[in-house]
Structure 1
């Protein structure tokens, strides 16, 4: 009997130690949904069906100004896992594996070193070389339940049901829970049947996401861990229909964020349960914040700042964001957001927002929107997506949450424009943004040197590069003499941006023609390709197309992508390159390769 009692007592002690004992350090649980803006009831969306997260918001703190750094998953997740701004490391372009410096560690590793159990279920997608030692386990079966008795944990659960792919195959209308005829559409979307259906199906996916989030919260309660665990719920970027995910508007960068603090750790909360805060937070800040909550010293190299815990700092004034290459299409934008305004600088304004992306066009709503544009049935707001971009955009978020009224040219907002323009310029310089290096050259540099180190090596004349990029993207003909001068600069990155300036000006840059022809023999392939694009704008065909066709034989994939981006815009003029396009497809059978996607589009258009 005494032996049975001792066994029972030992089991009771183990239970108390595992479930009932208060911890000095909190567990931290991340519930991460994919591709969704704050389409939740607790954020005021009356069409959404999200009872679990609405109830969760009543128990936690709702953040009204939380932002991803990039409007797409992999660069955003690079930010989250490192606490670093991707353009400072070269991890900004979609699905790349450029290495980060050795001292940059995936932050869960610091939790492990401090006795925490770390689990990730299951998406990684960190846009750089993986660091598997960050996790005790990372798989679709990973869970905090596998930790040792009494061990604190940092656990991530990724919910992919709301991912963009969820609308690629349409559900029969009669099976939808949300009525396509009642779905609220943003003013930039036409009311096509496909658009309304995709939106309704998306709301169905969000309802299921909410159910799954509720299951995870109930599981935590069932395990007796809710009173020891700080829970974050957030989305990895905005989305998902056209002009949201991948685009640096509110629809792509603003995310839901709710954090619940158990009573034991209520002193760490910024307010009482059920309240909201307008503090600006970004993905840069998430890693240092959870380290701060756990009492772990934040490494000095981390660029983000803690907004909770003993190491929290003064509230940031701005949220910075970026757009680089998205799959097979090149683009470059930077954005700054304060509590009232969003400023966007488009450094490649000649590229339309609606560049064809194979993956984006899998949603039935996208071809329907394109068809409406080609038929001339769109209003002025709806067709902007299909036209060239302004060099600068400024939006009053309070009055214009959908970002459709550009105030950059309004004299009444000149002071705001100048302030945010300067904030953007200063941050690009401070963060040592390597995204202004054309990716064909960027990828070559990364083979021998981490791009973060290269930016700080003295070999990257960032100030002159940014100055040239700003001149080039300004659309100001008065800048042409300076642009022509920089076409002969010793720095290939400066030459590249000078050529971009002639592309943006189109026929107004005719006086640069002779120098552009010389640049068809430039030692840097990205400059040759850009010069070809400019000369095509100025009416030349044979030599530019020949140069682009030769670029398709390059071993540099990003050079091939750059050349294909140009060839895809010139229609039948690209015909002399078609054999090299076909050869490229034969040599690169993987559909996931971005040069393959771009090449297929060219041949598909040629066959029409």
Structure 2
């Protein structure tokens, strides 16, 4: 044997041993469930013996969070390791996919380059153009069994049993399909009406959690049958919170706080800085998952990622000591809002950038659930208590909750003098995150699609100063009106249309306190160069009851030739009609731009408005 052959054989043997040492990794993902439904994490949950078994042989993460409270935004963060507002992947659901720069990849690409077999069964739901290099297979038949012999693998198994759609049952089904979980003992959140519908929904959902746990066990058993369990690290987690009313799509703990258990085989214990068989209160977020998988595979974390690995070799002590998580919520289907959150230890800070928006605003998919429908009906009948009715009221620009004392975020401490230092610190920290990111949502979605979707990172860097300025105008909402008044007046007259845009939003935040600007804002509604600013001006005038703006908003809808712009106008129309002016809107779809009126989400809004006449 010559030297070249010897070196080649040695290299192949060494490569084979190296690959054999790399752990396989499996993600078992259940859809739409927060940690609140499992006894492993919450006293009001049900037993999940298969997940509990994984925890005994792994790590139970008591503080694991999705960064977004809805599927496509959450999964876009998971697959990139990047915060959604930085790359415009945070709207649910993006009808137009964003394009990632050449230096940013979906993380399974890095695994494939390192020799891993990557498979996904089968949900993707990203707001991003997918490269052909992401998965070896992504389908209902995808399995680790299709890899080459001894090839390490990364596999995702999605369980849809607990998805929101499972709660779209009828009243007849409530009668004919009794729950296993007892209705008389089931827990109902204190901000929900304790009715038979809510008790049934809670009980039925807990039954689905039990069924989902069985399906988790089936995946684990398949790994064991294939003699792979001792070589495979298993992540079990929920893909975001939900789905009882006011959870999925909202930055409450019920929308963000997910169950997470990671099984670590004996041979890979050295890759965990956490004790096996124990729980940890270290904060981890979806933005960290990609970096963690790469680190477990001994692949360097790309500098483009926002997340940090919490498992694998050489985990930074700062990550182990992490005690905070960042969240974001924007458009959910046809319903618009802009909310950011920052939780540090037990304190949760929520920043409502458009506080005049009402959480309970009609959303077609959500309101297929009987519990949502009943909640709204009871609100309109005046039969809700103070805690239950807040879902249908305008919000405050800032909210602060002590999660340990108030797990369902009912008692807003933002105005409590005892927490003044805390809220200032959290406000400063959140502002720093939004500016450094930078957060693209300070541009309207239509503008982002038109100007940033082909390269959102470059757009954000180029407009970082502008975004900081728009944030500053938005934060005038946090001042007294007298202190903010002169600045608002200046920005209402700015040559920058987006400065006018954010000044109008801030005026709406102040409501009737800002009525001194009524004539000026009425002029903006009639003469501004930007249709979207005319809409925001009409919003303000309608919110404060200055005049009936139904015809103004309807005319703006007819003028719009942009689908997302028109969808935002329709959001305002439904908000005005259902919660502010409560007047009738007559919309003639034939007067709308053809492409606009054929948009599915716009059709849903129009159907709702027409049915309610």
TM-score relative to the length of structure 2: 0.91
Deviates more, 1:138-147 or 1:596-605: 596-605
Distance 1:50 1:492, change over 3 A: same
SS at match of 1:353: coil
Deviates more, 1:541-550 or 1:403-412: 541-550
State the 1:477 CA deviation: 4.7
Counting only pairs closer than 5 Å after superposition, residues 261-272 of structure 1 correspond to structure 2 as 261-272=264-275
SS at match of 2:306: coil
Q: Distance in 1 between matches of 2:286 and 2:384?
A: 35
1:286-333 CA-to-partner distances (Å, cap 9, x unmatched) read 000110000011111111111111252222342100111111111011
State the 1:166 CA deviation: 0.4
Distance 1:552 1:56, change over 3 A: farther
Counting only pairs closer than 5 Å after superposition, residues 456-467 of structure 1 correspond to structure 2 as 456-458=461-463, 461-467=466-472
The aligned residue for residue 112 of structure 1 is 112
Distance 1:242 1:33, change over 3 A: same
Q: Is the CA contact (8 Å cut-off) linking 2:119 and 2:144 kept in structure 1? A: yes
1:257-313 CA-to-partner distances (Å, cap 9, x unmatched) read 100111111111233332001111101100001100000111111111111112522
Q: Is the CA contact (8 Å cut-off) linking 2:446 and 2:564 kept in structure 1? A: yes
Distance 1:379 1:586, change over 3 A: same
Q: Is the CA contact (8 Å cut-off) linking 2:269 and 2:276 kept in structure 1? A: no
The aligned residue for residue 133 of structure 2 is 133
1:517-574 CA-to-partner distances (Å, cap 9, x unmatched) read 3323322222121112123335555777335423344221111011111222333989
Is structure 2 residue 605 aligned with structure 1 residue 605? no
Q: Which residues of structure 2 form unaligned runs of 5+?
A: 1-16
The aligned residue for residue 27 of structure 1 is 24
State the 1:41 CA deviation: 2.4
Q: Is the CA contact (8 Å cut-off) linking 1:321 and 1:335 kept in structure 2? A: yes
Is structure 2 residue 88 aligned with structure 1 residue 83? no
State the 1:443 CA deviation: 2.2
State the 1:595 CA deviation: 1.7
Counting only pairs closer than 5 Å after superposition, residues 99-248 of structure 1 correspond to structure 2 as 99-170=99-170, 171-173=173-175, 174-248=177-251
State the 1:57 CA deviation: 1.2
The aligned residue for residue 10 of structure 1 is none
State the 1:343 CA deviation: 0.7
The aligned residue for residue 306 of structure 1 is 309
Q: Distance in 2 between matches of 1:330 and 1:605?
A: 20
Which of 267, 275, 280 is 2:283 aligned to?
A: 280
Q: Let me know the Cα RMSD of the aligned residues.
A: 2.4
Q: Distance in 1 between matches of 2:72 and 2:108?
A: 17
State the 1:175 CA deviation: 3.4
The aligned residue for residue 65 of structure 2 is 67
Q: Distance in 2 between matches of 1:47 and 1:304?
A: 30
Distance 1:599 1:290, change over 3 A: same
Q: Is the CA contact (8 Å cut-off) linking 2:435 and 2:464 kept in structure 1? A: no
Counting only pairs closer than 5 Å after superposition, residues 385-424 of structure 1 correspond to structure 2 as 385-424=391-430
Q: Is the CA contact (8 Å cut-off) linking 1:73 and 1:236 kept in structure 2? A: yes
Q: Is the CA contact (8 Å cut-off) linking 1:192 and 1:369 kept in structure 2? A: no
Q: Is the CA contact (8 Å cut-off) linking 1:529 and 1:547 kept in structure 2? A: yes
Q: Is the CA contact (8 Å cut-off) linking 1:328 and 1:598 kept in structure 2? A: yes
Q: Distance in 1 between matches of 2:571 and 2:62?
A: 38
Distance 1:460 1:602, change over 3 A: farther
Deviates more, 1:71-80 or 1:98-107: 98-107
The aligned residue for residue 495 of structure 2 is 490
Q: Is the CA contact (8 Å cut-off) linking 1:159 and 1:212 kept in structure 2? A: yes
SS at match of 1:42: coil
Q: Distance in 2 between matches of 1:220 and 1:516?
A: 64
Q: Distance in 2 between matches of 1:585 and 1:188?
A: 42
Distance 1:543 1:489, change over 3 A: same
Q: Distance in 2 between matches of 1:115 and 1:361?
A: 46
TM-score relative to the length of structure 1: 0.92
Counting only pairs closer than 5 Å after superposition, residues 357-506 of structure 1 correspond to structure 2 as 357-446=363-452, 449-458=454-463, 461-472=466-477, 476-506=481-511
Is structure 2 residue 554 aligned with structure 1 residue 551? no
Q: Distance in 1 between matches of 2:49 and 2:340?
A: 36
SS at match of 1:371: helix
Distance 1:477 1:319, change over 3 A: same
State the 1:423 CA deviation: 1.1
State the 1:22 CA deviation: 9.1
1:463-503 CA-to-partner distances (Å, cap 9, x unmatched) read 11101111146573531221121012232222111011222
Q: Distance in 2 between matches of 1:151 and 1:112?
A: 11
State the 1:377 CA deviation: 1.7
Q: Is the CA contact (8 Å cut-off) linking 1:118 and 1:136 kept in structure 2? A: yes
Deviates more, 1:137-146 or 1:304-313: 304-313
Q: Distance in 2 between matches of 1:475 and 1:305?
A: 39
Q: Is the CA contact (8 Å cut-off) linking 2:66 and 2:240 kept in structure 1? A: yes
Distance 1:114 1:137, change over 3 A: same
Q: Distance in 2 between matches of 1:603 and 1:544?
A: 14
Distance 1:544 1:248, change over 3 A: same
Q: Distance in 2 between matches of 1:526 and 1:433?
A: 20
What number of residue pairs does the alignment pair up?
A: 586
Q: Distance in 1 between matches of 2:193 and 2:357?
A: 22
Q: Distance in 1 between matches of 2:223 and 2:58?
A: 15
State the 1:103 CA deviation: 2.1
The aligned residue for residue 260 of structure 2 is 257
State the 1:411 CA deviation: 0.8
Distance 1:571 1:311, change over 3 A: same
Is structure 2 residue 592 aligned with structure 1 residue 595? no
Q: Is the CA contact (8 Å cut-off) linking 2:352 and 2:398 kept in structure 1? A: yes
State the 1:433 CA deviation: 0.4
The aligned residue for residue 3 of structure 1 is none
Q: Distance in 2 between matches of 1:83 and 1:36?
A: 21
Q: Distance in 2 between matches of 1:538 and 1:218?
A: 61
